[in-house]
């Protein structure tokens, strides 16, 4: 074990009756449920998401674990996970069930506006080390509760950050190895006082995550005044305005952002979404790659919050138009993301290929071990080069980042063999725009049903079947969507 890992272990385990706990992020740890139930499981562990979970959510949920200094699991966790954002550690004298209640209460935050639960990813050390310094006395009391100290990695894996509270204030230090080599560790106290811009951004992010958008606007405004170039503050502020229906104010945030960064893909795309001016025919590659690389580790959990049912709806539609799965088809998961559709498509596939623009999303998909090949590419280009290569092309929650569908449908037609099936989803446009599609302030597109059928027919598809479904929610409201099945005609 490396020297700094020895320091971590000595810091976790003391002789004063304090228990050591870990809160571990399943979205960041490959096969965490298997590790927890394997040959050398920890003595106590429990999922922090409430209720019965689908298999996909079990894999990415956070877990509370009580650590034993002599357990192989503890050594594996420290040696393999430190510095990789796998989770956080805590000291408490309380028993497992008491501490579980505390951490579960932090995990699920009730959004009164949407009347649903949101998930707060405080167990990512990068989040917690930003959130704690931004907390006022009441928030510190809420975050600590029965916890006596938090221990987590710093920007460098060699840093072991130690957070406690006293007199209503956060006390922070870095644990370092004793210079005398006595095998002990010392607390080297140092100031942990973020600038006011960082604190205001942290509070804006907390309020936004809690669905308290009006308060998020106030903190976001202050953060940007103090640090105008802080991209994350701009993003949080604009999102808060959008949640409140204040699209003009959100647009101004993006204009100011573009004045400083004229080529920023997120600001450019979102400005078009807020104003309807300069709307691109589809989201730019740079926008998609930047957005989903940043989103990869929390993507599955976020979709669960939105009650997303895309994979289920797609496979149900496929079952109505395709013989029973026989493992005989060449299948493309187009815009596969983290691979949520992969396991459901695998029974149909002799060969299953996934394509996506986000390398980090593809890495998550690879961990599912259901794909024969994963390709990083823009979808239309990939389809255009795959002449008659597939029997089935599936695009679940992918074409909501395309406005104009003509080019991608022609490419899909060329990539399919005669008689092959195309199955995809789009969000349904409540008001048909002149072009047949429209962009929304959140950056996604919706499509009118007549436009979709017209584009498919023009590309050479027939046997078109469209189902009206609800695939997800947005702001607590159901998003009307279409599941479309079409077949490549002879010739």
DSSP for 86-140, written as a single string: -EEEEEESS-HHHHHHHHHHHHEEEETTTTEEEE--TTSHHHHHHHGGG--HHHH
Cα separation, 379 vs 475, in Å, equals: 29
- Tell me 280's DSSP state: -
pLDDT at 224: 37
132-146, 225-239, 348-362: least confident range: 225-239
At a CB cut-off of 8 Å and minimum separation 6, what does 263 contact?
none
Q: What is the DSSP string of 442-486?
A: TS-EEE-HHHHHHHHHHHTEEEEEEEEEEEEEETTEEEEEEEEEE
Residues in contact with 194: Cβ distance below 8 Å, sequence separation at least 6, in sequence order: 130, 133, 134, 202
309 or 242: which leads in pLDDT: 309
Residue 181 predicted with pLDDT over 80: no
Average pLDDT for residues 369-394, to the nearest whole number?
97
Judged by average pLDDT, the poorest of 40-54, 168-182, 456-470 is 168-182
pLDDT at 259 over 70: yes
CA distance 103 to 25: 13
Task: Look up tokens 């510190």; give the residue.
Answer: 140
Cβ atoms of 428 and 399 within 8 Å: the answer is no
pLDDT over 80 (residue 94): yes
Phi and psi of 400, rounded to 5°? -70, -5
| The pLDDT value given to residue 475 | 64
Residue whose tokens read 């009391």: 141
Q: 194 pLDDT exceeds 60?
A: no
Q: Is residue 445 predicted with pLDDT exceeding 80?
A: yes
In whole angstroms, give the CA distance from residue 118 to residue 210: 7
pLDDT of residue 384: 96
Of 148, 149, 174, nearest to 159 by C-alpha is 174
Average pLDDT of the segment spanning 326-350:
95
| 442/306 Cα distance (integer angstroms) | 14
Q: What pLDDT is attached to residue 214?
A: 45
pLDDT-derived band at 377 (thresholds 50, 70, 90) equals: very high
Q: What integer pLDDT is reported at residue 51 of this predicted model? A: 73
Give the pLDDT score at 233: 62
Over range 18-36, report the average pLDDT: 89
Most confident option among 46-60, 217-231, 323-337: 323-337
Q: Flag the least confident range among 11-25, 333-347, 394-408.
A: 11-25
From CA 7, how far away is CA 21, in angstroms rounded? Answer: 16
Report the distance separating Cα 182 and Cα 159, nearest Å: 19
pLDDT-derived band at 238 (thresholds 50, 70, 90) equals confident
DSSP character for 432?
-
- Residue 218 pLDDT greater than 70, yes or no: no
Calpha distance 204→263 (Å, rounded): 25
Averaged pLDDT, 236-263? 81
Q: Is-contact 450 432, C-beta < 8 A?
A: yes
The least confident of 125-129, 323-327, 438-442 is 125-129
**Which of 135-149, 216-230, 354-368: highest mean pLDDT?**
354-368
Give all domains of the chain, ordered by start, each with its CATH number.
3-193 (no CATH), 197-278 (1.25.40.10), 299-488 (3.40.50.150)
5-19, 43-57, 164-178, 348-362: which has the highest mean pLDDT?
348-362
Residue 280 has a pLDDT of: 93
Predicted TM-score of the model (pTM): 0.63
Segment among 121-130, 233-242, 311-320, 365-374 with least mean pLDDT: 233-242
3-state secondary structure of 326: coil
Is pLDDT above 80 for 229?
A: no
Whole-angstrom distance, CA of residue 188 vs CA of residue 178? 10
Higher pLDDT, residue 323 or 66: 66
Q: Mean pLDDT, the chain, as a whole number?
A: 82
* Share of residues in the chain with pLDDT > 70 (%): 81
Give the mean pLDDT of 413-433.
90
pLDDT at 168 over 50: yes
How much of the chain is in helix, strand and coil states, percent to nearest 5? 40, 25, 30
The predicted pLDDT at position 350 comes to 97
430/90: higher pLDDT: 90
Tell which wins on pLDDT, 196 or 370: 370
Q: pLDDT-derived band of residue 311, with 50, 70 and 90 as boundaries?
A: very high
Q: Tokens for 449?
A: 């049903």
232 pLDDT band (50/70/90 cuts)? low
Q: What is the CA radius of gyration of the chain?
A: 25
Query: Cα separation of 294 and 284, whole Å?
Result: 16
Lowest average pLDDT, out of 84-93, 156-165, 367-376, 451-460, goes to 156-165
Among 207-211, 212-216, 269-273, top mean pLDDT goes to: 269-273
Strand partners, 165: 170
Q: How many CA atoms lie within 13 A of 276 on its CB side?
A: 8
């Amino acid at each position: 074990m490396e020297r700094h890992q020895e320091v971590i272990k000595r810091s976790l385990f003391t002789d004063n009756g304090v228990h050591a706990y870990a809160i571990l992020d399943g979205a960041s740890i490959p096969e965490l449920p298997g590790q927890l139930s394997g040959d050398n499981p920890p003595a106590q562990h429990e999922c922090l998401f409430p209720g019965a979970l689908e298999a996909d959510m079990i894999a990415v949920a956070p877990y509370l674990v009580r650590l034993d200094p002599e357990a192989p699991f503890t050594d594996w966790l420290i040696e393999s996970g430190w510095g990789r954002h796998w989770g956080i550690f805590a000291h408490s004298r309380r028993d497992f069930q008491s501490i579980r209640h505390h951490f579960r209460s932090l995990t699920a935050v009730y959004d009164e506006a949407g009347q649903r639960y949101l998930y707060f990813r405080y167990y990512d050390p990068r989040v917690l080390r930003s959130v704690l310094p931004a907390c006022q006395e009441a928030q510190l009391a809420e975050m600590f509760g029965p916890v006596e100290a938090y221990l987590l990695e710093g920007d460098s894996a060699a840093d072991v950050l130690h957070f406690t509270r006293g007199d209503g204030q956060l006390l922070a230090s870095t644990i370092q190895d004793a210079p005398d080599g006595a095998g002990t560790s010392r607390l080297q106290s140092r100031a942990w006082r973020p600038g006011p811009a960082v604190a205001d951004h942290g509070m804006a992010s907390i309020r936004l995550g809690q669905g308290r958008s009006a308060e998020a606007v106030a903190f976001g405004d202050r953060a940007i005044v103090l640090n105008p170039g802080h991209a994350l503050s701009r993003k949080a502020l604009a999102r808060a305005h959008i949640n409140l229906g204040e699209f003009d104010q959100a647009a101004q945030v993006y204009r100011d952002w573009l004045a400083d960064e004229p080529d920023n893909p997120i600001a450019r795309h979102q400005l078009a979404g807020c104003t309807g001016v300069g709307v691109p025919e589809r989201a730019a590659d740079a926008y998609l790659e930047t957005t989903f690389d940043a989103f990869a580790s929390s993507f599955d959990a976020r979709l669960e919050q939105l009650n997303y049912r895309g994979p289920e709806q797609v496979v149900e539609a496929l079952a109505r138009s395709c013989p029973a799965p026989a493992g005989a088809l060449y299948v493309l998961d187009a815009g596969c993301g983290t691979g949520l559709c992969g396991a459901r498509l695998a029974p149909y596939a002799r060969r299953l290929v996934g394509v996506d623009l986000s390398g980090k999303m593809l890495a998550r998909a690879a961990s599912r071990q259901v794909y024969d090949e994963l390709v990083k590419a823009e979808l239309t280009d990939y389809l255009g080069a795959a002449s008659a290569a597939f029997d089935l092309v599936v695009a679940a929650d992918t074409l909501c980042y395309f406005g104009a569908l003509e080019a991608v449908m022609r490419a899909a037609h060329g990539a399919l063999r005669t008689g092959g099936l195309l199955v995809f989803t789009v969000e349904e446009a409540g008001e048909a725009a002149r072009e047949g599609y429209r962009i929304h302030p959140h950056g996604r597109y919706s499509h009118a049903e007549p436009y979709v059928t017209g584009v498919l027919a023009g590309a050479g598809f027939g046997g078109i079947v469209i189902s009206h479904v609800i695939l997800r929610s947005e702001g607590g409201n159901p998003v009307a969507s279409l599941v479309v099945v079409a077949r490549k005609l002879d010739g």
